[in-house]
Amino acid sequence: MIARIWHGVTEVSAADEYLEFLRARAIPEYRNTPGNQGAYVLRRVEPDRVHFLTVSFWDSHESIRSFAGEDIQRARYYPEDQDYLLEFEPNVAHYELY
């Protein structure tokens, strides 16, 4: 199994709305992709910003490719992310689970 981890940052004032977006749109799309074994959002609040991690679990690189596209190292963004995120990190991290 492979864990895919993405990181994003919002203003504190946008954090709750962004979390709702992730819950309503992004996480269901992860979970409905064949080969996905689960997807979760982690959130850490700091005084001036909020960090989000999406952690998703996949049965293969092929499954990730069906979600993320040919270059599975590239982060996948939604058009709505422009309304919330302070920056757009280009890549995600993958880890093998044992």
Q: What pLDDT score does 77 carry?
A: 97
Calculate mean pLDDT across residues 76-98.
97
- Tell how far CA 25 is from the center of its chain: 11
pTM score over 0.85: yes
**22 Cβ neighbours under 8 A, 6+ residues apart:** 41, 52, 54
Q: Which domains does the chain have, with CATH numbers?
A: 2-96 (3.30.70.100)
Q: What pLDDT score does 63 carry?
A: 97
Q: What pLDDT score does 34 carry?
A: 98
Calculate mean pLDDT across residues 45-64.
98
Q: pLDDT tens across 8-20, in order?
A: 999 999 999 999 9
Calculate mean pLDDT across residues 57-86.
97
Amino acid at 41: V
Calculate mean pLDDT across residues 38-56.
98
Amino acid at 2: I
What Rg, from alpha-carbon coordinates, does the chain have? Answer: 13
